[in-house]
Amino acid sequence: MKKTYTILIASLFFLCFESFAQNVVSGKVIDAKSGEALIGASAILSGTSKGATTNVDGSFEISGVADGSYIIKVSFVGYEELSRSVNVSGADVDLGSIGLAESIFSFDQVVISGSRQPEKITQTPATIEIISSKSLDELPSFNPGELLSRMKGVDYLRAGVVGTGINIRGFNSNFNSKNLQVNDGRFSTLIATGLPMGPLTTQIKEDIEQVEVILGPNAALYGPNAHNGLVHTITKDPRSSAGTTVALGVGNQSMLSARVRHAQVLNDKLSFKVSGEYTKAEEFEFMDSVYIDRNADGVKEGYEEYKLDNDIEFLRAEAALYYSVTDNSDLIFSWGGSNSTYLSPTNVGRNQIKDWKMNYFHLRYVSDKFFAQVYNTTSSTEDTYAIDQRTKNYYAAIDGGATEAEAEKSSLGNGATFADDSKRWNAEVQYHDTFGKAKVVVGSQWQRDNANSNGTYLLDNGGKDPIIINQIGVYGQLDYQFTEAFKAVAAFRGDNHEVYGFNFIPKAGLVYSAGNGAFRLTYGKGIATPTILNMYGDLFAGLILGNAEGFTLTDGSKVDKQTVEKIQTFEIGYKGELVPQRFFLDANAYYNISEDFLSPATVVGVATHRGDTPMSEVQSGYGAYGGLVASYVNFGRVDTYGFDIGTNVYLNDKINWTFNYSYFDYSVDEDDLENNDFNKDGVVNKLDILVNAPKHKFGTGLYFRGDKLFGNVYMRWVQEYDYFSSYQIAAKTQDLNWRGTPIRENARSTDTWNYGPLGGFVNVDLGLGYKINDIFQVAGQVTNLFDSEFREFTAAPFTGRLYSIEVKAKLPAVKK
C-alpha cells in the first residue's frame, strides 16, 4: 500500500511539474528574397490549439507549449506554406528567421476565402481560383478584371473597352446580382440594385495582393447573394509592402492611365498607405438601335441612340491607416472614393453612367482570436440616364411639335434619368479559435440599407421616404481534423430580412489528403435575394413596380410577393500534384438544384392593389395604364450539372503551361407547366429557363517568367450560345418567338436588334515585359491579337483589338 501511495504522489508531482513546464516557441517570418518582415503570417503547431500571428516586425510567440515533438506550419497569403519540426524539452525554443518563398506553383498557395481563415489551397473545401500579385504586376493594364478570362468555370464577358464581368454556372443576365463582390471583407455592391461595383470600384491594381474567386455557393459564411460565386479582393498590408509604385499606361481607344501607390511604416505602431488613379479612354464606335413607333401603321422604326457619349473616365483614391494595438492585434481605418463615367449595358439598352460617385469608410479590428468591422458605403449620381428611354422621349417630343431645345430637355423625363443618393451601414463581429483538432468560427453580421432614388426609379415618394431595410445574420463553422489526412467541415447561417423573412443556409464538406493533393466532397446551399429595385422599383410611371407586398388582380386572385431564389450544390473535386513540382491538377464535378427563380420583369396582369394599397394611389401612370402592371415573381425548378478541369504544367521554374476546360448543361421537367412555363405559352423550353451560358469552353496559355524578361500568350475558345435578357437577345435563327417576334439572326427582334449568338469565337492575347532594373519595368499587351470580330455581351459593341504599353517604377521604402 505504501508503495502505491508513493507511485501516486510521484505521478501527481510529475503532472503538476509538467503543467508548469510550459514553454514558448518563437520566431520571425520574413520574405525569403527581400528579407522584409511578413506581418499577419500564421504560425500553428499542428495537432494542437496553439498558434499565433506575426506582429509588425514579423515576430511571433506561441506560449504555453508543453514538452514534446511538433510540426510548426507557417503560412501567408501569396507564399508557399512551410513546415518544420520543433522539439520542446524544458526550455523556450527560438526558431530564428523563417523565410517564406513567394508562391510560384499553384499547389503552394494560401487562401482565406474558403473558410475565412488562412489555409493551403489544397485543403479548402471549395473550388477556388486565384489571381496572384505577380500576375497583376505583369499585367500592363489598369483593369485587373481581364485576368478573370483565364479562369476555369468562369464565364468572362467583355462589354466594350472597360466593361468586364463574370458569371458562374449559368443563368446570366444584363442585371446579374448572383455573384457577390467582397473587398477586404467588405461587401462591394450597389445598394439599390445589388450589382457588383465593377468599374465603380475604388481600388487600383497596384494595391491588390490577391483575388480569390469561389465557384459555387458560399452563402453560409458570406451571406445572401454569394449564390453562384464570390469574388474576394485582398489588398496589400503597408507594413509588408512599403515603398512607392508609379505606373503610366497608354493604348489605343485614346487610353491613358496614371496610377500611384505609397506605403510607409512610421514606427512600431503606425503605418499607412495611399493610392490613386486617373484613367480615360474612348469606347469602341457602336450605335445601338432604339425602336420607336412613329408610323400610322404601328411599325416601329429604328433610330440611333440619342446623346451617346463614348468618353470614359475614372478617378479613384484610397487611404488606410494601420495601428498595432498589441503584438497580435491591429486596428485598421480605411477610406475609398471613386468618380466614374462610362457606358454600361442593361437589359433595356445602355445606361450612360455620368459622374457616379462611390465612397466608403471602413474600420476593422483584427487579432488572432477576434475580427470586427463596421463600414459605411454611399452611392450618388444625378446625371446618369438610360439612353434607350431618353431617345424615345426625345422623338416623342419632336413628334409633339417641340423645338429642338424643348425636346432635349424633355428627353430626360419619363424614366430616362437615374438619380441615386443611397447609403448602407454594415457591421460584423467574429470569434475564431482552435481547440485541439477543432477550428471554430462564429460570427454575426448586420446590414441597414437606405436607398433613395429621389423619385427616379424607386417608390421613395420623390426622395422624401427613402427605402430603409434592416437584416441580421449569424453564422458558424466547425473544422475538425480527425487525422492528418482527413478533416470535416460543417457550417451554417441564419438570416432574417425585414421583407422576405428568415432563411437557414447549411454547408458541409469532407477533405481527404493523399500525398501532395486532396479529394473533397461538399454540399452547400445558397440564396439569391430580391434587390431593393425588385422589391420597391417604380419605372415608367409605375408600369413596372417592385413586388415587396404582392398584388391583387381584378379577378380577385393573388400574386405572391417575391422571395428568395434557392440553390443546392453537390460537388466533388481533387486538387493537387500528380507529378511533384511539375504537374498540378484541379478538377471538380457538380450538380445543382435551383428553385424559385427570381424572374425578370413580367406582366402580372391588371391589379387593383399592391399589398393593401389601391393601385390608383401607387401607380403614377394609373390614368394611362389602369392598373396594368409588370413586376417580379418566383417560378420553376431546374437541375444543372457540369465539371471543370484545370491543369498547370511547370516545364521548369521559369516556364509553365496551363489548360482549362469547362462543361455545363441542364435539365428541366417540361411537363410541369404550372411551375416551369414562365411565359405561359403552353410549352416549357429554353425561353422560360434562360440558362444563358455556353455548354463548352476552354483556355490555354504559355507563361515565361525570367529574371528580366516575362511574357505570355493565351488562347480562349467559347462555344456559341443563345442569350436572352428582357429586351436583349443574341440568338441564332429558330422556330421560336421572343417577346412576340420570330427569332431571326441579324434582324430586328421587337425592341432591339439580334446580331446572332454570343460566343463562337477564338481569342488570342499576347503579353511581353522586361524588368530594366530593380526599379523600372516596361510591359505591353495586345488583347484580341488577330482583331477577330466577336461580341461577348448584348447592348455592347463588338470587341476589337486593344493594345497597351505600361511603364512602372517601384521605389523601395526608405530605411529607418
**Angle formed at CA 98 by CA 97 and CA 102, multiple of 5 degrees:** 130
Residue 664: which of 109, 4, 153, 286 has the closest Cα?
153
Secondary structure element (H or E) that encloses residue 399, with its range:
helix 387-399
What lies within 8 Å, CB to CB, of 110 at 6+ separation is: 75, 76, 77, 78, 79, 81, 103, 118, 119, 120, 121
What lies within 8 Å, CB to CB, of 468 at 6+ separation is: 448, 449, 450, 451
Are the beta carbons of 331 and 321 closer than 8 angstroms?
no
| Cell numbers describing residue 244 | 512607392
Most confident of 121-130, 228-237, 467-476, 788-797: 467-476
Residue 573: which of 523, 521, 524 has the closest Cα?
521
Burial pattern 31-60, b for ≥16 Cβ within 10 A else e, equals bbeeebbbbbbbbbbeebebbbbbbbebbb
pLDDT of residue 816: 57
% of residues, the chain, pLDDT over 70:
95
pLDDT of residue 376: 98
Cα(491)–Cα(469) distance, rounded to whole angstroms? 26
pLDDT of residue 105: 58
Please report where in the chains the cell 422621349 appears, as a residue.
Answer: 393
CA 222 from chain center: how many Å?
11
Residue 12 pLDDT class (50, 70, 90 cuts): very low
Report whether pLDDT(303) > 70: yes
Residue 3 pLDDT class (50, 70, 90 cuts): low
DSSP, residue by residue, 665-704:
EEE--TT-HHHH-TT-SSS-SHHHH-----SEEEEEEEEE
Cα(161)–Cα(297) distance, rounded to whole angstroms? 40
Residue 511: which of 477, 482, 546 has the closest Cα?
482
As a whole number, mean pLDDT of residues 72-84 equals: 79
Q: What is the pLDDT of residues 613-625, one digit of tens each?
A: 999 999 999 999 9
- Domains of the chain and CATH, by start: 2-102 (2.60.40.10), 110-721+758-812 (2.40.170.20)
Cα(184)–Cα(188) distance, rounded to whole angstroms? 9
Are the beta carbons of 292 and 285 closer than 8 angstroms?
no
Secondary structure element (H or E) that encloses residue 629, with its range:
strand 628-631
| Torsion angle of the four alpha carbons 28, 29, 34, 39, in this order, in degrees rounded to the nearest 10 | -110
Least confident of 199-208, 288-297, 464-473, 738-747: 288-297
As a whole number, mean pLDDT of residues 500-506 equals: 92
As a whole number, mean pLDDT of residues 759-787 equals: 95
Least confident of 16-30, 281-295, 613-627, 670-684: 16-30
% of residues, the chain, pLDDT over 90:
63
Secondary structure element (H or E) that encloses residue 62, with its range:
strand 59-65
pLDDT of residue 296: 65
pLDDT of residue 281: 97
DSSP, residue by residue, 372-393:
EEEEEEEEEEEEEEEHHHHHHH
Q: What is the pLDDT of residues 520-542, one digit of tens each?
A: 999 998 888 899 999 999 988 89
As a whole number, mean pLDDT of residues 50-54 equals: 79
Average pLDDT, the chain: 89
pLDDT of residue 11: 47
Report whether pLDDT(661) > 60: yes
Least confident of 299-303, 378-382, 573-577: 299-303
Are the beta carbons of 276 and 260 closer than 8 angstroms?
yes
| Cell numbers describing residue 776 | 523600372
Report whether pLDDT(24) > 50: yes
pLDDT of residue 739: 87
As a whole number, mean pLDDT of residues 252-280 equals: 96
User: 672 or 327: which carries more pLDDT confidence?
Assistant: 672
pLDDT of residue 724: 93
